[in-house]
Amino acid sequence: MNINGKTQLFGIIGHPVTHSLSPAMHNAALMAMGINGVYVPMDTTDPATGVAGLRTLGFVGISVTVPHKVAVMEHLDEIDPVARKIGAVNTLLFRRKPGEEEVVVRGFNTDWLGSNLALADRIQLAGSRVLVLGAGGAAKGVCFGLVEAGAEVIITNRTEEKGRGLAAWLGCDFIPSDQLGKVRADALVNTTSVGMEPNSADIAVNPNLLDHFSVVMDIVYAPLQTRLLQEAERAGCQTIDGLSMLLNQAAVQLKIWTGKRPPLDIMRRALEDELARRKSGGNISAPKDI
């Protein structure tokens, strides 16, 4: 990489960001796409001053991760209608108006597209039935995307009040965890952190119920093959690992920033290599990129 005065600047803001896999993935993509650009992690606790600084420094595109996906919205000039409906932004695009010095910052949300694209590799989303485990920020994006695609969504969550709240917002069904044995669906998606290292022996649903689903997707990527996915394979399910959503939402980000089609195979390989490097060094952190 030859960094010079024409190098385009991209990056990720959040707190913390040292754990992020995004730099490895995005830098590999930029190089493969022939773009003179660099993607850097930037830890910030204040999204207001963060966005102001990025405007001044000439950044082109930024990923936004926890805990700033909601707070950053009030510091943007424009917000994509879908991102506004979701109530969270994970992608910023910086553009100057023609003939002007003013920088316009527009916010997008690609998380929901990431999960939809990952699932669409296995099932036809429209008309499908999907059980989603969890009711946090990741669940909100996943469920929103599925509803937008015409799927029937069922939500279950350990805290019933929170789960029912998300279901009411989306206009979908909620089922208590003790009634999951009654559910049959095309897919199950785990959006919780259950099964994440160092608690990789944990599983978010009774393994005896997994044969009720054709496809099982887990957003946890440390470990890459969670116990949920291992048990799902034993039950005869197709599986989707935690890198798939991260990869697909990042590919949409790159298309927004560059207008070019990103190299998914190279991005996936970069993610896997980075995970392997960290595992060999004992440096696997919680997945908070999404």
Q: Say whether pLDDT at 282 is over 70.
A: no
Give pTM, 2 decimals. Answer: 0.90
110 residue type, one letter: T
Average pLDDT over residues 118-145: 96
Question: 112-244 belongs to which homologous superfamily?
Answer: NAD(P)-binding Rossmann-like Domain (3.40.50.720)
Q: Say whether pLDDT at 59 is over 90.
A: yes
pLDDT of residue 99: 72
pLDDT of residue 142: 96
Catalytic residue among 6, 69, 279, 288: 69
What does R_g of the chain's alpha carbons equal in angstroms?
A: 19
User: What kind of fold does domain 8-110+245-280 have according to CATH?
Assistant: Rossmann fold (3.40.50)
Average pLDDT over residues 76-95: 96
Q: Say whether pLDDT at 285 is over 70.
A: no
pLDDT of residue 12: 98
Average pLDDT over residues 138-145: 94
Fold identical between 8-110+245-280 and 112-244? Answer: yes
- Return the domain boundaries, the chain: 8-110+245-280, 112-244
User: Catalytic: 85?
Assistant: no
pLDDT of residue 287: 53
Average pLDDT over residues 235-249: 97
Least confident of 47-56, 250-259, 281-290: 281-290
> Other C-beta atoms within 10 Å of 181: how many?
10
Query: Which has the higher per-residue pLDDT, 2 or 232?
Result: 232
Band (98; pLDDT cuts 50, 70, 90): confident
Q: What percent of the chain has pLDDT over 70?
A: 97
Average pLDDT over residues 256-277: 97
Average pLDDT over residues 185-214: 96
HSE-CB at 91 with a 13 A cutoff on CA atoms is 23
Average pLDDT over residues 30-42: 98
pLDDT of residue 283: 63
pLDDT of residue 216: 98
